[in-house]
A and B are shown apart, each in its own frame.
Chain A
Amino acid sequence: MSLKISINKIKVRLGVLSLFLVLTLSGFSQDGKKLFKANCAACHKIDKKLVGPALAGVDERWENRENLIAWIANSGQYLKDNPGDSYAQDLFKSYNELQMAAMPLNTEEIEAILGYIAAPPVEKKAVAAAPVQVAEQEDYTNVWLFAFAAVFLIVIGVLISVKDTLKKLLLDLKGEDGLAAIGEVNDIGLSTAGKVGMWRDSNMKSVIALGVVGFILVLYLLWVPMLSIGVYTGYAPDQPIKFSHKIHAGDDGIDCVYCHFGAEKGRTSGIPPVNVCMNCHKGIESGKLYGTEEIAKIYEAAGWDPENQKYIPRKQKGIKWTKIHNLPDHVYFNHSQHVVVGKLDCIECHGDVATFDYPMHQENDLTMGWCIECHRTSEVKMNGNPYYDKLHDQLVEKYKEEGLESFTVNQTGGIECGKCHY
């Protein structure tokens, strides 16, 4: 009797539910996608096993939808309440008794998710990594310049020989005196060196001026490259993985310190360890630009078997990145000082990394002058940091005449040698 009633009840409910489902399916799907991404995607995929089982066809695998919903809402409770449900118990065991956390979802939300799983909107397949066609234009500028120079040299040579021939003719016609009369000198018998010497003697001022200019030019040409020694602005080495900051920090909006967590704690911001990559890339196997190719390298380094969704013991390799921002050994720089205490944004030194595609490059020159300039102009964030309370009052007193209320790093001793060099 009671069984019948309950079955009837279920039937009625199912009927209502299906009607409801049919009516709102599209709407559900949309919400379902969001809910799925927010609550499930970390451990589940629709078509593939991840931490938990693949979810496609889950409603078919479960005989009773109500049980399924209860299972999803709180699997631990379900296991406790239904020791007889062999399917659920086996499932639990086959996943190493790894329990799914209880989900703060109501029945409707779970239904929405199930609806999304049942009919996921067809995703636009990522266009498989059509490598960006960069027309590799060869640079012909230099070749042309050389060609022109050669032509000019030939022309000059020809002109000189023409001039000599003409002069010879004139000499034959007029004789030396005639030549002198029109202001020409007989230098035909002289060697090239003699000619040059004669020209130099007659144009001493120009020669000196030319010499000075030439000397300054040479100095300048030596000086300029010297200044750039050890300055690597724009340094963008190849990396073992074609990692794009634009995709991660820009498109996906991941916070810099999610990966570079060291920036808030210590000296180096650090290149993220592979396990940080794996936090997301366990699930994301294919990238926007290069498909699976580059992400596979992460798996290789992490010793991750994407087929079976598990780590292969002792296959961890690590990734040999090429460091971009290098400071000399004799300078001590601490990220946390600047990020936490100085409250600097990463982009102030590293540029708008969120727009940098592969390969990542060094935006600023990282020279001492660049550091000092900032230390001269930047204000120490004293407000709200009790460490500075006493110092602030003392400095207000010290700069009473200037009437300063806020102070630059310089004014607190921030450009002293020993603050960075020890």
Chain B
Amino acid sequence: MSNSRQYWQSVEQLDNNEEFAAKNSDEFSEELPLDQFLEKQELSDSSTTRRDFLKFVGFSVTAATLAACETPVMKSIPYVIKPEEVTAGVANYYASAYYDGFDFAPILIKTREGRPIHIEGNKKYSMTQGGVNTRVNSSLLGLYDAARVRNPRIKGEDAKWSKVDKAVKASLGSAKKVRILSNSIISPSTQAAIDVFASKLGSEESPVDFKHVTYDESSSSGIVTANKNTFGKAVVPHYLFRKANIIVSFGADFLSTWLNSSQYATGYGMHRSPEEGKMSRHYQFEANFSLTGTNADIRGAVKPNEIGLAVIDLYNAVAKATGNASVKGGKLDDDNDVANKINSAAKDLVANKGKSLVVSGSNDVATQELVNGINQMIGSYGKTINIDTPLNIRKANDVDFMDLVKEMKSGSVDTLFVYGVNPVYSAPASLDFAGALAKVETSVSFSGVADETGSVTTILAPDNHYFENWNDFIPVDGAAFIAQPVIRPLFSKSKTQQGTRQAQESILRFVKVKTSFYDFMRENWNTTILPLQKDYSTFDELWNNTVHDGFIHYTPAPVAQTLEAIIPTSASASASAVVKNSKATGIVAELYTETNMGIGNQANNPWLQELPNVITKVTWDNYVAMNPADCRENGYNTNYGQHLPASLVNVTVGGSTVKLPVISTPGQRVGTVSISLGYGRTKAGKVVEQGDMLAADGVTKTVGANLFGAVSTKGGNFNYYVDNVIIELAEEKEYPIGLAQTHFTEMDRKIVNETSLSTFIKGKNVYNPDPTVVDAYGITQKVEKLDLWAAQDIANGHRWGMTIDLSKCIGCNACVTSCHAENNVPVVGKDEVRRNRIMSWLRVDRYFSSDMSMTDPGETGKIAMYKQMEAPSVYPEAVHQPVMCQQCNHAPCETVCPVAATTHSNEGLNQMTYNRCIGTRYCANNCPYKVRRFNWFNYVGDSKFTDVNPAVNDLARMVLNPDVVVRARGVMEKCSFCVQRIQSGKLDAKKEGRPVADGEVVSACSSVCPTSAIQFGDLNDSETKVKEVSEDERSYHLLEEVGTQPNVFYLTKVRNIDGERIPVGLGHGTHGDHEDHAEEAHGEDAHASESDSHSEEHAGH
């Protein structure tokens, strides 16, 4: 008796209705885009006849031929004085650091001829090990953002810096009350600059009331206040996920957006493979299906308002097991056995005292106090939580901000500086920040673009991009980071423009301190960091080495140690507050920050806009995430996709209404919805105007809708859920949606191989047997025995390969954007995404799994059984699987190319030669992995892509990697295994006369992976990590049974759960007739025959 699971990619596929099947039976589900071409009005109006057309064609061909005979004259202007470190064609890497109030990451910036073209993580820093998330590596494009302002502005008019300085100085001269509003400052030198600023304000006779207010757009104020109440320290603690064996998270999306997520993801990844010692177990209790939730071993769906009740239940269970007093809880609305899961979590926590960690993303103080209580009982403090050297990120107290708005409203604030935040966009509507801002006489925004705040402040003093600045950061005491400029300010002072100026320098300039921030920062380091570290004796040594390495470890000044574990006596008070707060009526909506967009500060970044959502694969929109069960009940479309629109609803929260599509999201807590923040920007630039939504003014187009306004301020903190949400079908009823994943329908095959820890222990033959084929004589053979092709000559020299550990892969999308930047992958816009023309070379497939166990079909028959198995689980698990070109050694694409444009290299690469390709698309049709992409348009020249594709824009074009061709219209493209990196790595080795070292050549995806799930290297070298991993017992190939012999290996995902779990399809023998199956699937009526083929297939065994 085997039990097997089914995976499906989307609800449409699962429901498998006829319309969907018909639409998805072809690889390219659209005809040639002639209709689109012909529907242009000017064409039908034109009087050009066919004969004229032929004449034009003839003429232009001749003209083109003649033009080709001319030698194109190319000018070349060498440097006048060549900078010593720049050599044309050789990349330079600079260590730096990223911080935007939401994310912090140590990074390496790759520049070519002085032009930044790629961001990777700083491998030297052990806490992130070279990982960066997708928001950080996409921030590169912000440098070349056309929306960046090039002049400071006074009342919306371009002005000179001298005028701005004069105006601000005049205002400061007469001001009584001055405020700086910023995100949590983790830069010691910026803090010092603000201190200098404060000290220079006013005089003895007329003192100035100055305050620096911090405001974090994604607040963790609840944690700060709770820690103040519990320990007397108003801090966000430093969490050490890498030390935790048991992780319980109540709604904290710590792998993608919660606090210092880059670091947490790396630490988490260290314990996700069964080979590497003890595997951690992760419980997640949440309402919306978060990225972290998909990775959880055990997930419970809990209403957002009842997260606190779940915490109480865990508190009581732990208290009981540790002999502490329990508290009075409330009744949890439990529809998915949450109570049992909590008990199991409690058992694990108590058994792993000192090696466990409980976190909560809730911003409710009482809930966080209880979480502190649990952590005390299980001995986390000092082990997995460090409260004495806290995290400096997102440490703002929301009350400060609310007080500031009150002050502003009263008209008493004379001068306000806004740095690093965009409160007009992100503050809750109930506070009416915009109205309050209007009452401030002089308001100064340092935003680099005229964003929602920067466009209404009286003065806009544009900051540089962070690539153009010196800066320093101390995210956690003990390590200081330096961000160094890698390019001169793109918009520097010239005849035509005033240029931008670093905010810190502006702040100093406003109080007549004329030092550059560089000098200021050095001086600050000389006095503060130098005495704290022991590595270097002189300042120059310290400085030069830190700039080179990107960071330095130092011994922080001692702080008072927090006394160990006194169980808070106030726990019952907290519990009753939680119970009181958990009351909610109507539909509850959770407002969450999403993996790609975060708080929306990079909304004008087309890479991020087109990046598919990690769960629903929606691009270019935010949406109402609703459980499919709820969708059906309310009559909303669950069959939407490229051709079928989603339902459009009016979402009314606290009196204001926005329109949003409904996306059926398995895993979303029934009876609740989730909507992501960070969308609906109106003044970010051209990219956000590419959306299909309308802003409040009814004219401006936006991408998605802004829900920041709906954030409630109940209880003194920003509360990221609201109740009494009214959702009604909008008058338009339907809304086109750009989905990235339903392009490709995978049939019932071993694609994601997943098992449980207890099954894993039983050995490879149980959870990952080698696939076999039944040959024509009825003999069961191993797949590699039967082959259509002659063997490739890949034994000599290098053989490049990749391993992807599905256990470690958290599905964070970082690899996708890294690939886009490295390989000049075009952005195509929502309309093209809807036509199945997204160009990503690397996609992260997400599979939901059912909880259904496979049993003997018996009477019902196989088809009925399959249908039953595919019945959607309300709360499924999900698996992420990055898929790029598998670089098959027996590649089906190579054999069908009529012009030999795709060929095999002796290093195992499946090469794509663009200049040879004539665009027949046979290769894509023959690719079992669907990883080939066709250039339907001239994405770099067509006006349709002006505002989305960076390569069209003169400024953004600078982001292109000069080592990779920008593909022309009409050619196929696909993942090349970053052949440019391979070639350059080999060349370096050859020049230095040594073998290629392991880790020297890494693909762009592998170089940013925060959990080191993707390994890249030489499979012919027995010393490499990739060789070792590829020989792991968990390794398998995607669709191994079709005999393509890929160079990409996947490692079976192991979930740390009890009970048996045998991967799909393996419980019932072989997959001999899969090739037939695949052909049928691409035939005329794929889906009609699909269920038939199921039965044929299984009848054979």
Closest to A342 in B: B990
The number of residue pairs between A and B whose CB atoms lie closer than 8 Å in the complex comes to 158
Distance A266 CA – B90 CA, assembled complex (angstroms): 6
Distance A421 CA – B980 CA, assembled complex (angstroms): 10
| Stretch of A188-196, A246-254, A325-333 lying at the B interface | A325-333
Instruction: Tell me whether B74 and A326 are in contact (CB under 8 A).
Output: yes
Instruction: Tell me whether A262 and B77 are in contact (CB under 8 A).
Output: no
Distance A385 CA – B989 CA, assembled complex (angstroms): 10
| Stretch of A106-114, A159-167, A314-322 lying at the B interface | A314-322
Instruction: Tell me whether A232 and B990 are in contact (CB under 8 A).
Output: no
Selected from B80, B797, B916, the residue in CB contact (under 8 A) with A417 is: B916
Instruction: Tell me whether B88 and A268 are in contact (CB under 8 A).
Output: yes
Residues of B within 8 A of A341 (CB): 987, 990-991
- For window 177-212 of chain A, which residues contact chain B by CB distance below 8 Å? none
- Scoring B69, B966, B993 by chain A CB atoms within 10 A of each residue's CB, the highest score goes to B993
Interface on chain A toward B: helix, strand, loop, or mixed SS? Answer: loop
| Stretch of B827-835, B858-866, B904-912, B1081-1089 lying at the A interface | B904-912
Task: Report the interface size class on chain B.
Answer: 35 or more
Residues of A within 8 A of B41 (CB): none
Distance A419 CA – B987 CA, assembled complex (angstroms): 12
Instruction: Tell me whether A262 and B909 are in contact (CB under 8 A).
Output: no
Selected from A271, A334, A388, the residue in CB contact (under 8 A) with B78 is: A271
Distance A301 CA – B79 CA, assembled complex (angstroms): 10
Residues of A within 8 A of B913 (CB): 417-418, 421
Distance A260 CA – B987 CA, assembled complex (angstroms): 19
Instruction: Tell me whether B89 and A268 are in contact (CB under 8 A).
Output: yes
Question: Is residue A340 within 8 Å, beta carbon to beta carbon, of the partner chain?
Answer: yes
Known contacts: A229-B68, A267-B89, A330-B965. The answer to whether A323 contacts B976 by CB under 8 A is: no
Question: Is residue B36 within 8 Å, beta carbon to beta carbon, of the partner chain?
Answer: no
Selected from B65, B914, B915, B987, the residue in CB contact (under 8 A) with A334 is: B987
- For window 60-91 of chain A, which residues contact chain B by CB distance below 8 Å? none
- Scoring A276, A320, A416 by chain B CB atoms within 10 A of each residue's CB, the highest score goes to A416
Selected from B68, B74, B87, B915, the residue in CB contact (under 8 A) with A262 is: B87
Instruction: Tell me whether B87 and A265 are in contact (CB under 8 A).
Output: yes
Closest to A229 in B: B68
Instruction: Tell me whether A412 and B797 are in contact (CB under 8 A).
Output: yes
- Chain A: minimal CB distance from B971 (Å): 10
Distance A179 CA – B66 CA, assembled complex (angstroms): 54
Residues of B within 8 A of A131 (CB): none
- For window 256-283 of chain A, which residues contact chain B by CB distance below 8 Å? 261-262, 265-268, 270-276
Instruction: Tell me whether A416 and B905 are in contact (CB under 8 A).
Output: yes
Selected from B76, B903, B909, B994, the residue in CB contact (under 8 A) with A321 is: B76
- Chain A: minimal CB distance from B993 (Å): 5
Instruction: Tell me whether A416 and B995 are in contact (CB under 8 A).
Output: no
Distance A312 CA – B990 CA, assembled complex (angstroms): 43
Instruction: Tell me whether A303 and B80 are in contact (CB under 8 A).
Output: yes
Bits for B983-999, please: 1 = Cβ < 8 Å to A, else 0: 10011011101111000
Selected from B69, B82, B991, the residue in CB contact (under 8 A) with A225 is: B69
Selected from A270, A302, A323, A390, the residue in CB contact (under 8 A) with B80 is: A302
Question: Is residue B72 within 8 Å, beta carbon to beta carbon, of the partner chain?
Answer: yes
Distance A243 CA – B907 CA, assembled complex (angstroms): 44
Question: Is residue A387 within 8 Å, beta carbon to beta carbon, of the partner chain?
Answer: yes
Residues of B within 8 A of A386 (CB): 993-995
Distance A271 CA – B78 CA, assembled complex (angstroms): 6
Distance A334 CA – B993 CA, assembled complex (angstroms): 17
- Chain A: minimal CB distance from B717 (Å): 52
Distance A318 CA – B76 CA, assembled complex (angstroms): 10
Residues of A within 8 A of B996 (CB): 387
Question: Is residue A104 within 8 Å, beta carbon to beta carbon, of the partner chain?
Answer: no
Selected from A230, A273, A321, A326, the residue in CB contact (under 8 A) with B81 is: A273
Residues of B within 8 A of A384 (CB): 993
| Stretch of A10-18, A37-45, A134-142, A391-399 lying at the B interface | A391-399
Closest to A413 in B: B906
Residues of A within 8 A of B162 (CB): none
Distance A319 CA – B797 CA, assembled complex (angstroms): 44
Question: Is residue B75 within 8 Å, beta carbon to beta carbon, of the partner chain?
Answer: yes
Question: Is residue A237 within 8 Å, beta carbon to beta carbon, of the partner chain?
Answer: yes
Question: Is residue A336 within 8 Å, beta carbon to beta carbon, of the partner chain?
Answer: yes
Instruction: Tell me whether A321 and B77 are in contact (CB under 8 A).
Output: yes
Instruction: Tell me whether A274 and B905 are in contact (CB under 8 A).
Output: no
Closest to B91 in A: A266
Selected from A270, A413, A421, the residue in CB contact (under 8 A) with B907 is: A413
Question: Is residue A235 within 8 Å, beta carbon to beta carbon, of the partner chain?
Answer: yes
Instruction: Tell me whether B74 and A417 are in contact (CB under 8 A).
Output: no
- Chain B: minimal CB distance from A264 (Å): 9
Selected from B80, B89, B796, the residue in CB contact (under 8 A) with A316 is: B80
Instruction: Tell me whether A274 and B995 are in contact (CB under 8 A).
Output: no
- Chain B: minimal CB distance from A231 (Å): 10
Selected from B65, B979, B989, the residue in CB contact (under 8 A) with A387 is: B989
Known contacts: A270-B88, A316-B81. The answer to whether A332 contacts B993 by CB under 8 A is: no
Distance A417 CA – B907 CA, assembled complex (angstroms): 12
Instruction: Tell me whether B796 and A419 are in contact (CB under 8 A).
Output: no
Known contacts: A232-B71, A320-B75, A337-B987. The answer to whether A391 contacts B797 by CB under 8 A is: yes
Residues of A within 8 A of B980 (CB): 332, 422
Instruction: Tell me whether B79 and A418 are in contact (CB under 8 A).
Output: no
Question: Is residue B61 within 8 Å, beta carbon to beta carbon, of the partner chain?
Answer: no
Instruction: Tell me whether A275 and B907 are in contact (CB under 8 A).
Output: no
Residues of A within 8 A of B915 (CB): 328, 330, 421
Instruction: Tell me whether B987 and A336 are in contact (CB under 8 A).
Output: yes
Instruction: Tell me whether A274 and B983 are in contact (CB under 8 A).
Output: no
Residues of A within 8 A of B79 (CB): 273-275, 318
Selected from B911, B914, B976, the residue in CB contact (under 8 A) with A416 is: B911
Instruction: Tell me whether B965 and A394 are in contact (CB under 8 A).
Output: no
Instruction: Tell me whether A413 and B905 are in contact (CB under 8 A).
Output: yes
Known contacts: A229-B68, A322-B74. The answer to whether A275 contacts B80 by CB under 8 A is: yes
Residues of B within 8 A of A395 (CB): 796
Residues of B within 8 A of A419 (CB): 905, 983
Residues of B within 8 A of A228 (CB): 69
Instruction: Tell me whether B78 and A230 are in contact (CB under 8 A).
Output: no
Instruction: Tell me whether A323 and B76 are in contact (CB under 8 A).
Output: yes
Instruction: Tell me whether B82 and A275 are in contact (CB under 8 A).
Output: yes
Instruction: Tell me whether A418 and B78 are in contact (CB under 8 A).
Output: no
Residues of B within 8 A of A268 (CB): 88-89
Question: Is residue B170 within 8 Å, beta carbon to beta carbon, of the partner chain?
Answer: no
Residues of A within 8 A of B990 (CB): 337, 340-341, 385, 387-388
Residues in B lying within 8 Å of A, measured CB to CB: 65, 68-69, 71-82, 87-90, 795-797, 901, 903, 905-907, 909, 911-916, 963-966, 976, 979-980, 983, 986-987, 989-991, 993-996
20 A-B contact pairs sorted by A residue (CB < 8 Å): A229-B65, A265-B89, A268-B89, A274-B79, A318-B79, A319-B77, A319-B78, A320-B77, A321-B77, A328-B915, A384-B993, A394-B797, A413-B905, A416-B905, A417-B916, A418-B909, A418-B979, A421-B913, A422-B912, A422-B976
Residues in A lying within 8 Å of B, measured CB to CB: 225, 228-230, 232, 235, 237, 261-262, 265-268, 270-276, 301-303, 316-323, 326, 328-330, 332, 334, 336-337, 340-341, 384-391, 394-395, 398, 412-413, 416-419, 421-422
- Ranked 10 nearest A-B pairs via Cβ: A267-B89, A418-B911, A266-B89, A273-B79, A413-B906, A417-B913, A273-B82, A394-B796, A266-B90, A316-B80
Q: A321-B76, A321-B77, A421-B914 are in contact. List 18 more A-B contacts (CB 8 A).
A: A261-B87, A265-B90, A266-B90, A267-B88, A268-B89, A274-B79, A301-B80, A317-B80, A322-B73, A322-B75, A322-B76, A332-B983, A334-B987, A384-B993, A387-B993, A412-B906, A417-B911, A419-B905
